[in-house]
Amino acid sequence: MNFEYFTAKRIIDNKTYKSSVSAPIIKIGITAIAIGVVVMLISIATGIGLQHKIRDKVSAFNGHLIISNFDSNNSQESGAPVSMEQDFYPEFSSVSGIKHIQAVATKLGVIRTETDFEAVIVKGVGGDYDWSYFKEFLVDGDLPDYSGKMNEDVLISEYLANRMHFKVGDKFITMFRREDDPNKPPRMISYNIVGIYNSGFSDFDKTYIIGDLKHLQRINKWGENQAGNFEIFLDDYSQINDKLIEVYQNTPSQLNSYSVEEKYASIFEWIKIFENNIYGIIGVMILVAGINMITALLVLILERTQMIGVFKALGSNNWSIRKIFLYNASYLILLGLFWGNVIGLGLLFAQKYFKFIPLNPEVYYVTEVPIYLNLSYILLLNLGTFLMCLIMLLVPSYLISKISPVKAMRFE
């Protein structure tokens, strides 16, 4: 049997050890590690969760990549139309990793009722539109179907529905400015609400309604094979920059390609700050846990000074004795990690399934704290914390080599 491990286990199992002078210091060290793990787990799970949630919501309304004409401006309204008769549509087979491509258009309009009005952006979509995101957002009614003939069904946000006092089944008039002659009376469409959504992203909920692309083609006097732009969804979002280059290289020269991160640069720059916060919290928590464990180890060494002297007198070398205390410290670190994971993961699962901590969507673009759980980062966090704390303990354990056997055995 390993001598160092056996000795460390006997020290840990010793009842007098658990009620010794060092017991309170040891408990503080274990508590510090447990609290550190809880804080780190929460910061990573909520930070990454918030990043992914905001990213997915912005992508739901824009796609990961956008293809449009070069002469299109930065307006929310579609400019010059793009022909849908492209080699990359409806299947972008020349670039791998593309999950879906869809043709869309947007146009500014004004909802008009007898008592009120509201400016909106009507997003025209066709039968190729991917509704997977809006299935999650849907709070009432059904998703519209634009795969057949032109129809007046629309999907409207809960914000607009409440503001305009609409419900599923209501009809409303939307007016559109004539691009060919602004002096003429606006064009009008009577829309029928078939569904109400709530993405939790207030900037979009205040603005967008989803309607039939064919209406916008008619109003803009476009052909049936023309759209405002193409939206592309990727299999792996982390490859967005590489895929943007590939898409640009595989599209005609008169078309421009850009990412959703470029279109909403301020939002994505903001959520990148979360990463710096996460790294800062992890660093501080590991440092605090390590300092507490160093204190606990020093107290253990001082408390066992006579034992160290006896072992040295019997021929044990310094490294062998240091290993005894490092084994002991490892047990305390693992104990702190265990309780930290139990408490931290318990809180995260509770928030994930019960959503008891809300957020202001006006500030954070989500209605509750989102949680991202992944086994790889949990294991990596625990392994990293264990190794960093253990490395920090190597230096104070060197104190053992300075202890004289004669003086140690006389130590009281």
Q: At which residue do the structure tokens 């447990």 appear?
A: 34
Tokens of 26: 């040891």
- For 5, 186, 251, 277, 296, the CA distances from 329, given in Å and listed in that order, are 12, 77, 60, 29, 8
Query: CB neighbours of 9 closer than 8 A, spacing ≥ 6?
Result: 327
pLDDT at 74: 55
In a 13 Å sphere around the CA of 303, the CA atoms on its Cβ side amount to 18
Lowest mean pLDDT among 109-113, 155-159, 306-310, 406-410: 406-410
Average pLDDT over residues 155-180: 90
Question: Could you report the per-residue pLDDT of 135-152, keeping only the tens digit for each?
Answer: 989 999 999 999 888 899
Q: Which of 237, 273, 275, 228 is nearest to 255 (CA)?
A: 228
DSSP bridge partners of 257:
67
Query: CB neighbours of 311 closer than 8 A, spacing ≥ 6?
Result: 320, 321
pLDDT at 253: 87
Task: Provide the 3-class DSSP secondary structure of residue 105.
Answer: strand
Task: Provide the 3-class DSSP secondary structure of residue 123.
Answer: strand
Average pLDDT over residues 212-237: 92
Q: Which of 360, 104, 327 is nearest to 208 (CA)?
A: 104
**252 neighbors 141 (Cβ within 8 angstroms):** no
70 — phi, psi (to 5°)?
-65, -30
Question: Could you report the per-residue pLDDT of 84-136, keeping only the tens digit for each?
Answer: 999 999 899 899 999 999 999 999 999 988 888 899 999 999 999 999 989 98
DSSP bridge partners of 255:
69
150 — phi, psi (to 5°)?
-60, 135
In residues, how long is the chain?
412
Average pLDDT over residues 271-293: 86
Buried b / exposed e over 65-90, threshold 16 CB at 10 Å, is bbbbbeebeeeebbeebbbbebebbe
Measured distance CA(392)–CA(399) in Å, rounded: 13
Q: Are strands 117-125 and 255-259 parallel, antiparallel or unpaired?
A: unpaired
Q: Which of 170, 175, 173, 215 is nearest to 195 (CA)?
A: 170
pLDDT bucket at 196, cuts 50 / 70 / 90: very high
Average pLDDT over residues 299-327: 77
Measured distance CA(151)–CA(173) in Å, rounded: 14
20 — phi, psi (to 5°)?
-80, 180
pLDDT at 233: 95
Dump the DSSP string for 358-369.
Answer: B--HHHHSSSB-
Dump the DSSP string for 93-155.
Answer: TTSTTEEEEEEEEEEEEEEE-SS-EEEEEEEEE-TT---HHHHHHEEEE-----SSS---EEE
Average pLDDT over residues 391-395: 84
More confident residue, 94 or 183: 94
Residue 382 pLDDT more than 70?
Answer: yes
pLDDT bucket at 403, cuts 50 / 70 / 90: low
More confident residue, 371 or 296: 371
Neighbours of 369 (CB within 10 A): 20
Measured distance CA(344)–CA(141) in Å, rounded: 38
Residue 341 pLDDT more than 60?
Answer: yes
Distance of CA 286 to the CA centre of its chain: 23
pLDDT bucket at 232, cuts 50 / 70 / 90: very high
Q: At which residue do the structure tokens 């019960």 appear?
A: 354
H or E element: which one contains 300? helix 265-303
H or E element: which one contains 159? helix 158-164
**289 neighbors 32 (Cβ within 8 angstroms):** yes
On average, the pLDDT of the chain sits at: 86
Question: Could you report the per-residue pLDDT of 39-91, keeping only the tens digit for each?
Answer: 999 999 999 998 999 999 999 999 999 999 876 555 678 878 899 999 999 89
